[in-house]
């Protein structure tokens, strides 16, 4: 048993050591950590609440923060904004230099709850009313894009994690059972997986969404979306896990354990599952983008997270108008963040897979399906 | 001697890497005369396969030939152009590999793969090429040549595949055959048959062989001359009978004893 | 060969039945009886409602309803669309064709670009062209297709080179056949590109990987030892083997394609199955939703079957072992 654990650790540790050499992947890990951290601290980092509107500032451009005054470095400040119209009745926002608003730190602003539990209203930075600090510009209703990006990140990033956690658990159960017992159990379970994987994902997503009653609150819709995405996603993971279990089953130490009379459950739990989990991490990483994109796609067409709540997807539904992109290109920020998140997961997942590959190849020869 | 088929002079092959380089073939020189079977014997890692590949200039791109000459029929192959090498490979020197299943392309029929050699080395028309393939299969002792020609590599037994490989190697009428562990993947009875085939081909087609092997038993049955390699260098050479009777080097002695026991 | 096809068909049919079962269950768990909607709508006469009641056996036990549903599906009776006011079967056909056009265009684009690019990258491993392509593919892989579509549409609006959506312009009926084809092709550029970019990147990586793996095989060494020209070694011997595993992917590629196409259709206003499905979902047009989903599943099955056949043709090992 001791030797077995050592072997398990050292193979995975070997892969981890290799991983550390890929600087780009490490950079992506840091990037993701930053994104998730900022999502966690959204309330504090965001100057405004996600629903704080200011109709006078519709599509206001990013505020010009000044750091110099009379040639000296000074505390950052912004000027007030004056709304004017040009000859085409288009909005033009001009700086009103008569009013100066310094950027203050640790200000009191819109109330929020830290981690959803402890109420607070301290924000990292902000300006006094009636000025609005739009670091990344404003949307149609004058809501701060940066704030909504942070709150939106909470939704979009969490759906990825929770969804994949559920899928992975189901996948482990089903794939593990199929891979370990083989034979008829394997056949039936794999047919089931194939049936689910058979329907094109987006269609299934839409159909399942149609089955959700209109009376659901936003929170319930959020949960429903996670459930739907997990339902679509577990089959793929189950297949990968089943493949690994099938080959692991034939390994010497498993045969040894069996010959010693160790029970099936114990074998699965202590020998097979730990290996499977370390080797399937890359599959998990590579499937998270699917969840994030799935939620974004749904929200984009109005079937996902609804207003006033923010998600990166529903922020982009405003961007579906070409005219608006032209005049307010900052509404595309959510797309960029989605891209960065997806790319990071892809890079990490692929790098992990390459690092684990020589070991994967040794095991994967058994099962080609 | 200028009219020896293959003359290797001071060949050194190295594998460069971060901390320096490993020497795989260390300043070896050898000669293969026409109509002789020359056995290159040694354990794995002794550099014999590398030597064989070096002659064909099919070394892994990471390896380097740092010095030496490889003269085939008077021409230094190490200086030959790519075009010339293509003519020599198959046309002047043929090669037989160890594991015939992985040495054949799984998606093409065997007839197709052997016919390719004729297509690029001869001016025969398609019909004549196909005929020649069947003749070659017959020559190497394959029953039902047309069925073999239509078959894919995985459909035949190991012994038959090896014969096809031999047919492929002699198709363009080379003068020298480099055989790298030709029978290691076969069982004993098949080995004997293949060795018999080699003897026959040598006689009928006036071929020379450079037989690369670690199997001393095979050496006894087939070789005219023997070269013993160890750690990249040649430790003993001479005619078979002479070396067997009176081995000079301790390693040779060990090999002989091991094969008898 | 015929036996192999038969085998695959036999496997496909229970899967199809299973999928129909899934759509049936989904229909049942949707709250609200669709007939209630019909009853409230004055344009539906009592006889029509009665007819539909009979058609779907709604007064009979569930298992009978399921069998009736299967029977109806086989007969081509796929339900009635409340939104469009015509039987579903009539509207699905045209939309299906449009989706296929988009999907196939994207498919060709993907393969025609990714395969040569993958080969090229493999042959210049770790040199500058390869590194640039690898980095580029990570980027294109991760760009959400809807984002690409939006950016392209924006660019089109600025430059006016390509149309901004839809499948054809207003004068379509009056154009000659050749002009019609051209018109559709122009409208196809943006959606097909948006759809393909991600798959191109993914496929290129896989092709490169396969190519590198194949180039390391023994039979490549043999091919060179036979004195074959390098071009033949790479483009005949290596390529044939490198492409084989990609054919197994074909089936799943197709399903992914259909899926991705749906979203792009919506953004680019391409009148296909996906945008139809969205309208159906938004208007709670149940039969339309279910029929679209089922159509998607059938397309996937067909795609898979074709891919299996293609694989058998191309890889003799599979053909002769009947697996």
pLDDT(C151) > 70: yes
Asked if residue C159 has pLDDT above 70, the reply is yes
Residue C113 in contact with partner chain A when CB distance is under 8 A:
no
pLDDT tens per residue, range B111-130: 999 999 999 999 889 999 99
Top mean pLDDT of C31-35, C100-104, C166-170 is at C100-104
Q: Does chain C reach chain A with at least 3 CB pairs under 8 Å?
A: yes
Confidence of residue A3 (pLDDT cuts 50, 70, 90): very low
pLDDT more than 70, % of chain C: 83
- Side by side, the strands of the sheet bearing B6-17 are B20-32, B6-17, B64-72, B75-76
In this complex, the residue of C218, C227, C320 whose CB is nearest that of residue B120 is C227
DSSP E strand stretches across chain A: 66-69, 72-85, 91-102, 104-114, 118-126
Chain A residues with CB under 8 Å of C143 CB are 339
Residue C317 has a pLDDT of 66
Q: Across the interface, which of C217, C225, C315 has its CB nearest the CB of B95?
A: C225
| pLDDT band, residue A165 (cuts 50/70/90) | very high
The pLDDT of residue B147: 92
Chains A and B touch (3+ CB pairs under 8 A): no
Mean pLDDT (chain B) is: 88
Task: Tell me the per-residue pLDDT of C201-243, one tens digit each, with 9 for 90 and over.
Answer: 989 989 998 998 899 888 999 999 999 999 999 999 999 888 8
Q: What pLDDT score does B1 carry?
A: 44
Q: Find, among B183, B190, B165, B171, the residue nearest to B104 by Cα.
A: B165
- Using the Cβ of B206 and the Cβ atoms of chain C, whether some distance falls under 8 Å is answered with no
Mapped onto helix, strand or coil, the DSSP state of residue A144 is strand
Q: How far is C5 from chain B (nearest CA, A)?
A: 20
| Stronger pLDDT, C166 or B11, i.e. the higher one | B11
Closest CA to C299 of C251, C231, C266, C262: C251
pLDDT of residue A167: 92
Contacts 24+ apart (CB under 8 A), B135-140: B136/B167, B136/B170, B136/B171, B137/B163, B137/B164, B137/B167, B139/B167, B139/B170, B139/B201, B139/B204, B140/B164, B140/B166, B140/B167, B140/B170, B140/B197, B140/B201
What are all long-range contacts of C32-36, with beta carbons under 8 Å and residues at least 24 apart?
C32/C284, C33/C58, C34/C82, C34/C286, C34/C287
The whole-number pLDDT of residue A366 equals 32
Mean pLDDT on A309-313: 89
Q: Among A331-335, B73-77, C306-310, which stretch is predicted with the lowest mean pLDDT?
A: C306-310
Work out the mean pLDDT of chain C and round it to a whole number: 79
- Is residue B3 less than 8 Å (CB to CB) from chain C? no
Residues 6+ apart with CB under 8 A from C317: B106, B152, B154
Average pLDDT over chain A reads 80
Q: Which of C143, C157, C262 sits opposite A203 (nearest CB)?
A: C262
pLDDT for B228 beyond 70: yes
Q: What are the beta bridge partners of residue A114?
A: A118
| Chain A interface mutation, best of C92, C139, C150, C265, highest count of A Cβ atoms under 10 Å | C150
pLDDT of residue C323: 35
Q: Does A338 touch chain C (CB under 8 A)?
A: yes
Distance of CA A152 to CAs A35, A194, A203, B191, C30, Å?
Answer: 11, 34, 25, 72, 29
Residue A133 to chain C, least CA–CA distance (Å):
27
Tell me if A203 and C18 make a contact (CB, 8 A cut-off).
Answer: no
- How far is A208 from C248, CA to CA, in rounded Å? 29
Helices (H), B73-157: 82-91, 100-103, 110-121, 126-139, 145-150
Q: What is the pLDDT of residues B128-170, one digit of tens each?
A: 999 999 999 999 989 999 999 999 998 988 888 999 999 999 9
CB–CB contact A297 C259 (8 Å) = no
Report pLDDT for A83: 78
pLDDT at C322 over 60: no
> Which of A217-226, B61-70, C259-268: highest mean pLDDT?
B61-70
**C-alpha count within 13 angstroms, C-beta hemisphere, residue B221:** 15
Residue among C23, C32, C199, C262 with most chain A CBs within 10 A, to mutate: C262
Among the partner residues B99, B116, B152, nearest to C316 by beta-carbon distance: B152
Q: d(Cα C156, Cα C4) in Å, to the nearest integer?
A: 48
Q: Tens digits of per-residue pLDDT, A193-239?
A: 877 776 677 777 777 777 777 777 778 888 888 888 888 888 888 88
Contacts of A335 in chain C (CB under 8 A): 144, 147, 150
What's the pTM? 0.79
Say yes or no for a CB contact (<8 Å) between C218 and B89: no
Chain B residue numbers with beta carbons less than 8 Å from the beta carbon of C244 are 107
Nearest to C137 by CA among C225, C68, C201, C86: C201
Q: Residue A297: is its pLDDT beyond 60?
A: yes
Rg (CA), chain A: 25
């Amino acid at each position: 048993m001791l030797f077995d654990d050592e072997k398990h650790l050292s193979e995975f540790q070997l892969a981890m050591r290799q991983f550390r050499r890929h600087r780009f992947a490490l950079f992506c890990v840091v990037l993701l950590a930053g994104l998730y951290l900022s999502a966690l601290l959204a309330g504090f980092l965001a100057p405004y609440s996600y629903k704080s509107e200011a109709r006078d500032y519709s599509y206001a451009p990013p505020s010009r923060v000044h750091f110099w005054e009379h040639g000296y470095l000074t505390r950052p400040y912004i000027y007030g904004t004056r709304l004017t119209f040009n000859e085409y009745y288009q909005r033009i926002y001009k700086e009103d230099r008569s009013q100066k608003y310094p950027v203050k730190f640790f200000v009191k602003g819109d109330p929020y709850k830290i981690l959803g539990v402890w109420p607070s209203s301290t924000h990292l930075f902000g300006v006094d009313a009636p000025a609005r600090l739009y670091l990344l510009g404003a949307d149609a209703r004058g809501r701060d894009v940066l704030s909504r990006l942070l709150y939106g990140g909470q939704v979009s990033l969490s759906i990825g994690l929770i969804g994949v956690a559920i899928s992975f658990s189901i996948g482990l159960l089903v794939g593990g059972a199929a891979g370990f017992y083989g034979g008829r159990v394997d056949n039936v379970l794999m047919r089931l997986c194939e049936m689910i994987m058979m329907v094109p994902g987006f269609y299934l997503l839409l159909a399942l969404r149609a089955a959700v009653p209109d009376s659901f609150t936003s929170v319930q819709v959020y949960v429903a979306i996670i459930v739907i995405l997990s339902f679509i996603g577990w089959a793929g993971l189950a297949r990968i896990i089943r493949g690994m279990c099938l080959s692991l089953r034939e390994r010497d130490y498993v045969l040894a354990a069996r010959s010693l009379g160790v029970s099936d459950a114990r074998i699965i739990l202590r020998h097979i599952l730990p290996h499977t989990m370390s080797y399937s991490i890359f599959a998990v990483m590579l499937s998270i983008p699917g969840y994030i994109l799935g939620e974004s796609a749904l929200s984009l067409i109005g079937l996902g997270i609804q207003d006033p709540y923010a998600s990166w997807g529903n922020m982009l539904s405003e961007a579906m108008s070409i005219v608006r992109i032209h005049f307010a290109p900052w509404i595309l920020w959510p797309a960029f963040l989605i891209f960065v998140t997806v790319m990071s997961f892809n890079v990490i997942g692929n790098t992990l897979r390459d690092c684990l590959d020589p070991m994967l190849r040794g095991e994967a020869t058994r099962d080609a399906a | 001697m200028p009219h020896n088929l293959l003359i290797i002079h001071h060949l050194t092959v190295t594998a460069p890497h971060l901390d320096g380089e490993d020497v795989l073939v260390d300043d070896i020189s050898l000669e293969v005369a026409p109509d002789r079977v020359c056995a290159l014997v040694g354990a794995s890692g002794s550099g014999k396969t590398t030597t064989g590949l070096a002659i064909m200039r099919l070394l892994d791109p990471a390896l380097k030939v740092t010095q030496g000459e490889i003269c085939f029929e008077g021409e230094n192959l190490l200086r030959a152009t790519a075009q010339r090498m293509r003519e020599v490979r198959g046309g002047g020197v043929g090669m037989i590999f160890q594991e015939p299943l992985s040495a054949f392309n799984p998606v093409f029929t065997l007839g197709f793969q052997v016919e390719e050699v004729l297509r690029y080395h001869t001016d025969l028309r398609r019909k004549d090429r196909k005929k020649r393939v069947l003749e070659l299969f017959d020559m190497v002792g394959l029953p039902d040549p047309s069925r073999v020609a239509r078959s894919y590599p995985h459909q035949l037994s190991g012994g038959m595949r090896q014969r096809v490989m031999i047919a492929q190697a002699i198709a363009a009428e080379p003068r020298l055959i480099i055989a790298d562990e030709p029978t290691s993947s076969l069982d004993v009875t098949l080995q004997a048959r293949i060795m018999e085939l080699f003897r026959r081909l040598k006689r009928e087609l006036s071929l020379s062989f450079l037989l690369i092997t670690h199997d001393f038993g095979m050496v006894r049955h087939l070789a005219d001359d023997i070269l013993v390699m160890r750690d990249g260098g040649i430790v003993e050479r001479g005619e078979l009978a002479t070396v067997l009777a009176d081995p000079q080097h301790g390693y040779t002695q060990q090999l002989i004893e091991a094969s008898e026991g | 060969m015929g036996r192999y096809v038969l085998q695959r068909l036999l496997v496909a049919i229970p899967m199809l039945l299973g999928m129909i079962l899934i759509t049936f269950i989904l229909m049942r768990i949707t709250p609200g009886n669709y007939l209630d909607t019909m009853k409230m709508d004055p344009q539906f006469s009592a006889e029509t409602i009665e007819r539909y009641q009979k058609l779907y056996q709604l007064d009979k036990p569930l298992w009978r309803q399921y069998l009736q549903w299967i029977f109806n599906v086989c007969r081509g009776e796929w339900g009635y669309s409340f939104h469009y006011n015509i039987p579903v079967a009539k509207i699905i056909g045209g939309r299906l064709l449009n989706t296929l056009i988009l999907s196939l265009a994207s498919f060709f684009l993907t393969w025609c670009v990714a395969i040569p690019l993958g080969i090229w990258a493999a042959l210049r491993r770790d040199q500058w062209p390869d590194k640039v392509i690898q980095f580029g593919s990570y980027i294109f892989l991760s760009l959400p297709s809807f984002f690409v579509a939006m950016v392209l549409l924006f660019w089109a609006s600025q430059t006016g080179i390509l149309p901004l959506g839809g499948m054809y312009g207003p004068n379509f009926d009056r154009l000659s056949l050749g002009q019609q084809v051209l018109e559709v092709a122009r409208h196809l550029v943006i959606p097909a590109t948006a759809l393909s970019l991600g798959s191109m990147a993914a496929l290129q990586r896989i092709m490169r990987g396969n190519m590198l793996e194949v180039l390391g095989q023994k039979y490549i060494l043999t091919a060179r030892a036979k004195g074959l020209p390098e071009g033949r070694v790479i483009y005949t011997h290596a390529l044939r083997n490198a492409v084989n595993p990609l054919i197994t992917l074909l089936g799943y590629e197709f399903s992914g394609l259909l899926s991705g196409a749906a979203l792009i259709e919506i953004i680019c206003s391409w009148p296909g199955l996906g945008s139809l499905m969205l309208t159906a979902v938004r208007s709670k047009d149940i039969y339309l939703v279910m029929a679209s989903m089922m159509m998607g599943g059938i397309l996937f099955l067909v795609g898979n079957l074709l891919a299996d056949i293609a694989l058998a043709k191309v890889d003799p090992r599979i053909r002769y072992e009947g697996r």
